[in-house]
């Protein structure tokens, strides 16, 4: 196995957490974001679909979802930016004994609401949500969602039946959104006891015409919220781009001028609410249209989209960026980063105006997350 | 006498030992593994899922015979046997 390199991060540095099909990497730069120091590979050979950075309550903790086709899935953490990682004797994220499910893969790690600094969430396949209220020391199944009457009818998408997105509402500590492929968007308004589907207006292209707008069952690929206006949400569907201005109660098509409304990744700029997506050509091909690698941005909530592509390959670039392959930092101007299935990692330190390659020979990238070290 | 062989990654959870002699008898593989977990708990969740089923890409052999062709964890054990836990051929 390769000997990992390590980074040392200081306050103000930017972290670029990169999960691949063959391990995790921790990249570090100062706030100029010109040069990146690379730590890793960590967990060589393991697929790392989820990474997170928890800097609440004085922590500097990295989280990784370590997935092995042999040995199962578990969470590991590092309090020294990757130099050492926990290897738990027993797995924490698991269904109760006697349940009709076992964890196939951990897809997402998310921090809880701001006033709950010890709360973490995990989304898994088969679709279920787990919660920790002790900063990840122990986990329990969110039974309100597990016992939902729709659960038995959710169907797996191409990647499996996964709960891949967890979105706490910044303005309401009892409200949380999750997205499931293929189940759709669900929202709780009471801290997880009860869940309602929130998919009005979202198309299910794979159903017969008269059934294309079901209450639930859509293949939602990603949802993101506007930090300045948490009731405003954006959604990349399996065919379809949408915005909600009412906390998910209804959705409006905003695929105005994009080369394809199919795609996976979606991010909202924490500084100005711009939305970024990377359209892909069709659900059969799933590559960037016209052989051009373009990141589309809207600054008017989806009324219009423009391609950002300066510095990105524009010939023979048949790339795929997956649902967690795009991430933004909170510096000014915003940094935006994405990784491809072909192992390339690109970044922009000016909110997409110009791009450059950061790394080009990684294993397939499935997760990119950023953080600014406090 | 029941001896259990593990290799590679799994020895991280056996203090580096690749051969473990069980200190009690067991009529079935399930009971032998339960005894193994008492000695090396870290092996359990890596070999079995949380419902107690053998992970799909892990194989266990009893005296060289794959228990998937027998009764899985309910495979009966002779008084003396060698159990080997191995990852299957998979990946990419």
Quote the mean pLDDT of chain A.
97
Kindly list the residues from chain A whose CB atom is less than 8 angstroms away from the CB atom of residue B60.
Answer: none
How confident is the model over B78-83, as a mean pLDDT?
96
pLDDT band at A226 (very low <50, low <70, confident <90, very high): very high
Residue B20 is assigned to a structural domain of this protein: yes
Of chain A, the percentage scoring pLDDT greater than 70 comes to 100
How confident is the model over B31-55, as a mean pLDDT?
97
Does the pLDDT of residue B90 top 90, yes or no? no
Q: Which of B41, B45, B58 to mutate to test the interface with A (most CBs of A within 10 A)?
A: B45
Kindly list the residues from chain B whose CB atom is less than 8 angstroms away from the CB atom of residue A74.
Answer: 45
Does the pLDDT of residue A52 top 90, yes or no? yes
pLDDT band at A284 (very low <50, low <70, confident <90, very high): confident
Residue B34 is assigned to a structural domain of this protein: yes
pLDDT band at A322 (very low <50, low <70, confident <90, very high): very high
Structure tokens, A114: 């701001």
Interface of A with B (CB under 8 A): 45, 69-72, 74, 87, 89-91, 94-99, 102-103
Residue B38 is assigned to a structural domain of this protein: yes
Does the pLDDT of residue A356 top 70, yes or no? yes
Give the pLDDT score at B92. Answer: 59
Does the pLDDT of residue B41 top 80, yes or no? yes
Distance CA(A331)–CA(A346), nearest Å, equals 17
Give the pLDDT score at A223. Answer: 98
Q: What Å distances lie between residue A291 and A3, A218, A279, A281, CA to CA?
A: 36, 28, 12, 10
B77–chain A nearest CA distance, Å: 24
Give the pLDDT score at A290. Answer: 96
Quote the mean pLDDT of chain B.
95
CB contact under 8 A, A99 and B88: no
A134–chain B nearest CA distance, Å: 22
Does the pLDDT of residue A283 top 90, yes or no? no
How confident is the model over B9-23, as a mean pLDDT?
95
Distance CA(A227)–CA(A229), nearest Å, equals 5
Query: Distance from CA of residue A359 to its chain's centroid?
Result: 20
Does the pLDDT of residue A282 top 90, yes or no? no
The string of pLDDT tens digits covering residues B63-72 is: 999 999 999 9
User: CB-based burial of residue A209 (10 Å sphere; 0-12 exposed, 13-18 middle, 19+ buried)?
Assistant: exposed
CB contact under 8 A, A98 and B51: yes
Residue B30: give the domain boundaries. Answer: 2-87
CB contact under 8 A, A87 and B87: no
- The domain that holds B50 is classified in CATH as 3.10.20.30
Give the pLDDT score at A159. Answer: 86
Angle at A128 between CA A174 and CA B73, to 5 degrees: 145
Helix (H) or strand (E) holding A30: none
Give the pLDDT score at B67. Answer: 98
Query: Distance from CA of residue A87 to its chain's centroid?
Result: 24
pLDDT band at A1 (very low <50, low <70, confident <90, very high): confident
The string of pLDDT tens digits covering residues A53-111 is: 999 999 999 999 999 999 999 999 999 999 999 999 999 999 999 999 999 999 999 99
CA-only gyration radius of chain A, Å: 19
**Dihedral sign for Cα atoms in the order A252, A256, A260, A263:** negative
First to last CA, chain A: 33
**Dihedral sign for Cα atoms in the order A174, A334, A53, A263:** positive
Kindly report whether the peptide bond that precedes residue A182 is cis, defined as omega within 30 degrees of 0.
yes
The string of pLDDT tens digits covering residues A183-221 is: 999 999 999 999 999 999 999 999 999 999 999 999 999
Q: Any idea which residue has 């027993």 for tokens?
A: A90
The string of pLDDT tens digits covering residues A14-47 is: 999 999 999 999 999 999 999 999 999 999 999 9
Q: How many domains does chain B have?
A: 1
Interface of B with A (CB under 8 A): 9, 12-13, 41-42, 44-47, 49-53, 55-58, 87-88, 90-91
How confident is the model over A165-169, as a mean pLDDT?
97
CB contact under 8 A, B46 and A71: yes
Nearest neighbour of A90 by CB, restricted to B44, B51, B90: B44
**Dihedral sign for Cα atoms in the order A286, A287, A290, A295:** positive
A89–chain B nearest CA distance, Å: 4
How confident is the model over A331-349, as a mean pLDDT?
98
CB contact under 8 A, B42 and A95: no
Distance CA(B38)–CA(A172), nearest Å, equals 45
How confident is the model over A308-315, as a mean pLDDT?
98
How confident is the model over B59-63, as a mean pLDDT?
97
Nearest neighbour of B87 by CB, restricted to A70, A94, A97: A70
Residue B92 is assigned to a structural domain of this protein: no
The string of pLDDT tens digits covering residues A230-277 is: 999 999 999 999 999 999 999 999 999 999 999 999 999 999 999 999
């Amino acid at each position: 196995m390769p000997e990992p390199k390590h980074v040392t991060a200081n306050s103000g540095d930017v972290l670029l957490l990169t999960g691949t099909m063959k391990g995790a990497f921790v990249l570090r730069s100062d706030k100029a974001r010109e040069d990146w120091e690379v730590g890793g590979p960590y967990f060589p050979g393991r697929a790392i679909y989820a990474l997170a950075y928890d800097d609440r309550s004085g922590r500097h903790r990295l989280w990784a979802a370590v997935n092995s086709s042999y040995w199962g899935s578990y969470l590991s953490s590092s309090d020294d930016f990757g130099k050492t990682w926990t290897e738990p004797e027993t797995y924490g994220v698991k269904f109760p004994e006697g349940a009709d499910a076992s964890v196939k893969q951990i897809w997402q790690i998310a921090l809880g609401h701001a006033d709950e600094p010890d709360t973490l969430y995990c989304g898994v396949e088969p679709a279920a949500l787990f919660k920790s209220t002790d900063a990840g020391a122990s986990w329990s199944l969110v039974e309100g969602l597990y016992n939902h009457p729709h659960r038995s009818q959710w169907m797996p998408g191409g990647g499996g039946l996964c709960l891949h997105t967890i979105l706490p509402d910044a303005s309401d500590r009892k409200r949380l959104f999750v997205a499931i492929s293929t189940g759709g968007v669900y929202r709780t308004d009471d801290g997880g006891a009860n869940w309602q589907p929130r998919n009005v207006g979202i198309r299910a292209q794979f159903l017969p015409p008269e059934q294309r707008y079901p209450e639930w069952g859509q293949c939602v690929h990603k949802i993101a919220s506007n930090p300045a206006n948490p009731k405003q949400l954006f959604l990349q569907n399996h065919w379809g781009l949408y915005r909600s201005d009412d906390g998910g109660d209804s959705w409006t098509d905003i695929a105005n001028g994009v080369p394809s409304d199919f795609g996976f990744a979606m991010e909202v700029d924490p500084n100005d609410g711009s939305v970024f997506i990377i359209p892909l050509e069709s659900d059969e091909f799933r590559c960037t249209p016209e052989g051009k690698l373009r990141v589309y941005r809207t600054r008017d909530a989806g009324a219009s989209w423009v391609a950002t592509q300066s510095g990105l390959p524009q010939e023979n670039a048949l790339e795929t960026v997956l649902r967690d392959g795009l991430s933004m930092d909170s510096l000014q101007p915003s940094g935006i980063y994405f990784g491809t299935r072909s192992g390339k990692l690109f970044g922009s330190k000016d909110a997409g105006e110009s791009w450059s390659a950061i790394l080009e020979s990684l294993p397939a990238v499935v997760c990119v997350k950023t953080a600014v070290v406090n | 006498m029941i001896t259990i062989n593990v290799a590679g990654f799994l020895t991280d959870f056996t203090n580096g030992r690749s051969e473990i002699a069980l200190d009690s008898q067991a009529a079935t593989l399930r009971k032998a593994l339960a005894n193994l977990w008492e000695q090396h708990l870290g092996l359990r969740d890596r070999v079995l899922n949380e419902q107690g089923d053998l992970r799909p890409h892990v194989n266990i052999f009893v005296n060289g015979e794959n228990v998937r062709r027998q009764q899985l964890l309910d495979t009966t054990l002779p008084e003396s046997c060698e159990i080997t836990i191995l990852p299957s051929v998979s990946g990419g």
